[in-house]
């Protein structure tokens, strides 16, 4: 009787799965938005009110936070006729915008900045050349800084002023520097009033040139880029300050050595001072320095941080509203990223957050400057919660309790926030909360599963451990209706490098739809965040210092042991796939002796194969220089392990990759030929470090086909 019941249940389950739809790999890649949970987009609070807006199609919906009363604003029906009448292109959808007050908002197009007013209509605030790049608007005056060709400009109401122009090849103004490390994403920084502009000047004329081949020409030509290899010459950066009213420029006196990193630029609210986090090339010493914006002179060093492995500032000082001296500084000085209240008039710092978990997002201050709101992980690293800190007494309040991932959009006065929540089995819930007690005023959206009509496997967050007992997080996706009596092939998807966390207690554990496509095809897919990955504290992240690949391999092999312990994974059919740092890890796991015979096949995309060929800023932080750490560099140079390649390895690279140079994998192919080793190899012409756009579906179809053939 019991066997009959089990059979009936099994048949019913199979019948249910048969009734559900499937999706192809192309659909998994191209329909990522369709497979995403419903959302409220472009949420913006309206200053001076208890209201915020979000988009609904081509309309705005205005919501009152306390009572959740809402109304619809048909913005485009008013905006487009005004744009057309003024001779500008009309908009197909709601542009990115910011409310100034209940009746005014400002937005920008590719070349213009406008204010839209319910009383005054459309007001043009700035107009830029069509070829303007690196555009940076001041959010009060609408002045714009931008680059054009080799020059840096400021533009006020259509009037352009050239600030600086490259004196020779290798001099760059107004663009991001230090290879986008240290949280740097741009090259210009407006003062609070808009009367001054700080900007980067980068001299990379001494840096090695590297050719990127342009194929759409006959004959093919090379576009030269500057690429600073680990241990080689680095570029020199200075910070200029342009006075808009006087049309004068001074440079901050940041001193020597020239090969240092000038990071995390911040202005004091009174326009008097600029704060720069100066990091030495060794990246083990940081000085937060205060400079006089009028003269460029160093005023003083506000604080110093040192660490025997590395320091890595990624967030500029955030000044407290209403104060020209108080600021919040983020640091890992106690082992986890936390917030500290500092003052230009004192070298003391007072902790605003604490605990064995990191602050993962700083949302800002209430307008009165008394409180700040932030997001922090828990000790496991899996969950995210919203917190508020009182700047006066340092008391903190946890505003959300449900385990999962909470993100916030906080009102300017700090009294409300929109809580965007998900967890493993909850696609998305959006509610409005008061910061006083975190009480919910109402729920705006409860998303249904966007994949409920499709056959989907089960997703689990699993706990495992490093060989030294360090707890690790993993995400396991199993085929729909899997039978534990059968044996399944498995794929480990790996990154395991700094700054990345793949597994969280969010919808489907943070897994992507291509993983579920493979699960639908009968694979188990496991990802493990090993030592070195993000949001688990400084010691966890620094375990990889000077020996990239060693601890990470141990932790990925612990994932293999976990798979084998389940009893339904075929140990002879385990593959591995990763890109960039994950490509380095894939090649390591396929060839280094510690993993001999473990993996039947691997896919390595854009892989770092010799850290001596990778960029200075990233590599030297984790490895020191090749001159200081020759044994470490030699051990993780993967050309050394080609003799161990027995399984099938597919290597993929974009020919225009300016992050992990194409030379890495071309040299690997060359060595495979010399040693008589067979390698599957594919290039994506003129793609950079990631394969994006329509070609991405081609990439994953190829990966799926390779895995089916080899596993």
Average pLDDT per run of 10 along the chain, which is 711 residues long?
36 43 94 93 97 96 95 95 95 96 95 94 95 96 96 91 96 98 98 98 97 88 96 98 96 97 98 98 98 98 98 98 98 98 93 97 97 98 98 96 98 97 98 93 97 95 97 97 96 98 98 97 98 98 98 98 98 98 98 97 98 98 98 98 96 98 98 97 97 96 98 95
* pLDDT for the residue numbered 18: 39
Which contiguous run of DSSP H or E holds residue 16? helix 2-19
* pLDDT for the residue numbered 604: 98
* pLDDT for the residue numbered 448: 97
3-state secondary structure of 180: helix
Residue 436: HSE in the Cβ half-sphere, 13 Å Cα cutoff: 4
Distance CA 443, CA 517 (A): 32
Distance CA 534, CA 360 (A): 10
Given the DSSP bridges, would you call strands 524-529 and 488-493 parallel, antiparallel or unpaired?
A: parallel
* pLDDT for the residue numbered 32: 85
Gyration radius of the chain's alpha carbons: 27
Report yes or no on whether pTM surpasses 0.85.
Answer: yes
Q: How does DSSP assign 379-447, residue by residue?
A: TTSS-EEEEEEETTT--EEE---SSSEEEEEE-TTSSEEEEEEEETTEEEEEEEEETTTT-EEEEEEEP
* 3-class DSSP string for 527-570: EEECCCCCCCCHHHHHCCCCCCCHHHHHHHHHHHHHHHHCCCEE
For 652, 671, 683, the CA distances from 665, given in Å and listed in that order, are 8, 10, 10
Answer yes or no: are the C-beta atoms of 589 and 580 closer than 8 Å: no
Distance CA 404, CA 385 (A): 8
* 3-class DSSP string for 22-51: CCCHHHHHHCCCCCCCCCCEEEEECCCCCE
Which residues make beta-bridge pairs with 171?
203
Q: How does DSSP assign 666-691, residue by residue?
A: HHHHHHHHHHT---EEEEETT--SS-
* pLDDT for the residue numbered 196: 98
Q: Extract the tokens encoding 510.
A: 């943070």
* pLDDT for the residue numbered 8: 34
Residue 250, number of CB atoms within 10 A of its CB:
18
Handedness of CA 688, 689, 692, 698 (dihedral sign): positive
For the domain covering 2-30+450-710, report its CATH number. Answer: 3.40.50.1820
**Strand order in 346-351's β-sheet?**
318-319, 326-331, 338-343, 346-351
Q: Would you kindly state where each structural domain of the chain is located, as residue ranges?
A: 2-30+450-710
* pLDDT for the residue numbered 6: 31
Kindly list the catalytic residues: 580, 657, 689
List the end-to-end C-alpha distance of the chain, in Å, as a whole number.
39
Answer yes or no: are the C-beta atoms of 338 and 330 closer than 8 Å: yes
Q: Where are the alpha helices (DSSP H) in 214-330?
A: none
- Output helix, strand, coil percentages for the chain, rounded to the nearest 5: 20, 40, 40
* pLDDT for the residue numbered 1: 38
Which contiguous run of DSSP H or E holds residue 336? none
Answer yes or no: are the C-beta atoms of 144 and 136 closer than 8 Å: yes
* pLDDT for the residue numbered 331: 98
């Amino acid at each position: 009787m019991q066997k009959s019941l089990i059979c009936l249940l099994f048949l019913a389950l199979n019948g249910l799965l048969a009734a559900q739809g499937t999706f192809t790999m192309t659909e998994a890649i191209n329909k990522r938005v369709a497979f995403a949970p419903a959302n409220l987009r472009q949420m913006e609070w309206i200053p001076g009110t208890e209201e915020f807006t979000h988009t609904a199609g081509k309309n705005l919906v205005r919501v009152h936070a306390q009572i959740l009363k809402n109304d619809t604003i048909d913005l485009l029906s008013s905006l487009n006729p005004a744009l057309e009448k003024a001779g500008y292109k009309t908009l197909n959808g709601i542009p990115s915008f910011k409310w100034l007050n209940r009746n005014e908002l400002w937005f920008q197009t590719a070349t213009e900045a406008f204010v839209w007013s319910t009383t005054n209509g459309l007001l043009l605030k700035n107009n830029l050349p069509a070829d303007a790049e690196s555009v940076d608007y001041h959010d009060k005056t609408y002045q714009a800084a931008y680059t054009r060709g080799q020059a840096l400009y400021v533009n006020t109401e259509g009037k352009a002023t050239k600030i600086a122009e490259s004196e020779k090849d290798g001099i760059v103004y107004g663009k991001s520097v230090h290879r986008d490390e240290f949280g740097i994403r741009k090259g210009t920084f407006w003062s609070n009033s808009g009367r001054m502009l700080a900007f980067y000047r980068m001299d990379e004329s001494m840096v090695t040139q590297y050719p990127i081949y342009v194929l759409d020409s006959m004959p093919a030509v090379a576009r030269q880029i500057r690429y600073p290899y680990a241990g080689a010459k680095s570029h020199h950066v200075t910070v200029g300050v342009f006075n808009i009213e006087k049309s004068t420029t001074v440079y901050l006196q940041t001193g020597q050595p020239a090969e240092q990193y000038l990071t995390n630029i911040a202005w004091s609210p009174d326009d008097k001072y600029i704060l720069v986090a100066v990091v030495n090339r060794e990246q083990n010493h940081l000085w937060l320095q205060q400079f006089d914006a009028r003269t460029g002179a160093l005023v003083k060093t506000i604080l110093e941080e040192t660490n025997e492995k590395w320091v890595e500032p990624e967030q500029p000082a955030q000044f407290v509203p209403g104060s020209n001296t108080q600021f919040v500084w983020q640091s890992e000085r106690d082992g986890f990223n936390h917030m500290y209240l500092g003052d230009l008039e004192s070298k003391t710092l007072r902790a605003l957050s604490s605990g064995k978990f990191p602050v993962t997002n700083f949302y800002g201050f209430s307008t009165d400057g008394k409180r700040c709101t932030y997001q922090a992980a828990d000790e496991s690293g899996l969950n995210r919660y919203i917190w508020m800190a009182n700047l006066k007494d340092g008391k903190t309040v946890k505003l959300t309790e449900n385990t999962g991932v909470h993100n916030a959009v906080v009102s300017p006065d700090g009294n409300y926030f929109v809580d965007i929540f998900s967890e493993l089995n909850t696609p998305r819930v959006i509610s409005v909360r008061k910061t006083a007690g975190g009480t919910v005023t109402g729920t705006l959206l409860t998303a249904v599963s966007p994949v409920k009509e499709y056959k989907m496997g089960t997703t689990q967050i699993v706990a495992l451990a490093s060989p030294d007992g360090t707890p690790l997080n993993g995400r396991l996706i199993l085929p729909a209706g899997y039978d534990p009596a059968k044996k399944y092939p498995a794929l480990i998807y790996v990154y395991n490098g700094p700054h990345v966390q793949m597994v969280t207690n969010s919808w489907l554990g943070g897994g992507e739809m291509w993983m579920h496509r493979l699960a639908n095809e009968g694979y188990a897919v496991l990802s493990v965040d090993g030592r070195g990955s993000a949001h688990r504290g400084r010691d966890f992240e620094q375990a990889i210092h000077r020996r990239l690949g060693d601890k990470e391999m141990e932790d990925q092999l612990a994932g293999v042991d976990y798979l084998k312990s389940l009893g339904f994974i075929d140990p002879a059919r385990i593959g591995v796939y990763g890109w960039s740092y994950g490509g380095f890890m894939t090649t390591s796991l396929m060839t280094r002796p510690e993993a001999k015979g473990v993996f039947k096949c691997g896919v390595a995309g854009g892989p770092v194969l010799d850290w001596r060929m990778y960029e200075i800023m990233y590599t030297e932080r984790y490895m020191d220089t090749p001159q200081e750490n020759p044994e470490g560099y030699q051990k993780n140079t993967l050309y050394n392990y080609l003799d161990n390649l027995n399984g099938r390895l597919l290597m993929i690279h974009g020919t225009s990759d300016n992050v992990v140079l194409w030379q890495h994998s071309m040299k690997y192919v060359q060595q495979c030929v010399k040693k008589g080793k067979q390698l599957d190899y594919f290039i994506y012409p003129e793609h950079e470090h990631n394969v994006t756009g329509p070609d991405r579906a081609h990439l994953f179809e190829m990966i799926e086909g390779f895995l089916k053939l080899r596993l």
